[in-house]
Amino acid sequence: METKDYFLHESSYVDEGAVVGKECKIWHFCHVQKGAIIGENCSLGQNVNIANNVKIGNGVRVQNNVSIYEGVELEDNVFCGPSCVFTNVTTPRAHFPVHGVYGKTLIKEGASLGANSTVVCGHTVGRSALIAAGAVVTKDVKDYALMAGVPARQIGWVCECGERLTNALKCKCGRNYREENGTLTKIGL
C-alpha cells in the first residue's frame, strides 16, 4: 500500500497522475483530477474540485465549495474564500464545446478572493490583492489593490498582511508603501 505524506479524507479522490505536496489536507468530498499539481502545505476544504492540469503553489487555502478549472493557476499563499468562482471559457455554449481551449487566469502570490467572488477568465489578480466578498473581477487587478463591487472596481489599497492602507500608505503592522503612476510598491520591511 502506498504511503501518502498528506491527509486525504476517505470521501475524497486524487486521480492517478495528480501530484499533491507534503503536509496538504484534503477534506470531505474533494476531487483532484489527473495532471493537477498541488504544492506543499495546502488545504482544500469540503467539496473542492481541482480540474485537470491546474497548478497550485505552496501554502494555498481553498475554502468549501470551490472549483478550480483548467486554465487557472494559483501562486503561493493564495486564499480562496468559500464558494468563490473561477471561469475558463469566455463564450460558453453547450452546443459549441471548446475542446480544451481555455482562457488563462493567474492569481498571484498572497492574493485573497472573498466568499462568493467571481474571477472571469483571462485576467490576472495581482500580488497581495484583496477581492471583496461577492465582487466580480472582469479585468486585471493591480498588486495590493482592494477591489469591490459588480463589476469589481478598485476602492483602495491593502497591505501584504491584508489590512487596508491609510491615505499615507502606511499599515498598522509597520509596512509602508509608495504609489507611482498608479502602481504600489512596498518600501522597507
pLDDT at residue number 57: 98
Amino acid at 48: V
Distance CA 162, CA 28 (A): 28
Query: Which H or E run includes 115?
Result: none
Instruction: Collect all residues with Cβ–Cβ distance below 8 Å to 24 and sequence separation of at least 6.
Output: 6, 7, 38, 40, 41, 42, 43, 44
For residue 164 the three cell numbers come to: 487596508
Q: Say if CB 6 and CB 24 are below 8 A apart.
A: yes
Q: Residue 97: what pLDDT?
A: 87
Which of these, 144, 142, 129, lies nearest to 186 by C-alpha position?
Answer: 144
Asked if 19 and 33 touch (Cβ cutoff 8 Å), the reply is no
The SS3 assignment for 73 reads strand
Q: Position 3: which residue type?
A: T
* Residues of the chain above pLDDT 90, percent: 92
| Strands 145-148, 153-157: pairing kind | antiparallel
Q: Give residue 189's pLDDT.
A: 63
Residues 6+ apart with CB under 8 A from 59: 39, 40, 41, 42, 76, 77
Sequence letter at residue 115? A
d(CA 121, CA 183): 23
**Average of pLDDT values for 104-109?**
98
User: What are the tens digits of pLDDT across the range 19-75?
Assistant: 999 999 999 999 999 999 999 999 999 999 999 999 999 999 999 999 999 999 999
Q: How far apart are CA 14 and CA 34, in angstroms?
A: 8
User: pLDDT, tens digit, for every residue of 143-181?
Assistant: 999 999 999 999 999 999 999 999 999 999 999 999 999
- C-alpha 82/C-alpha 116 separation (Å) is 6
pLDDT for 29-45, tens place per residue?
999 999 999 999 999 99
d(CA 89, CA 99): 11
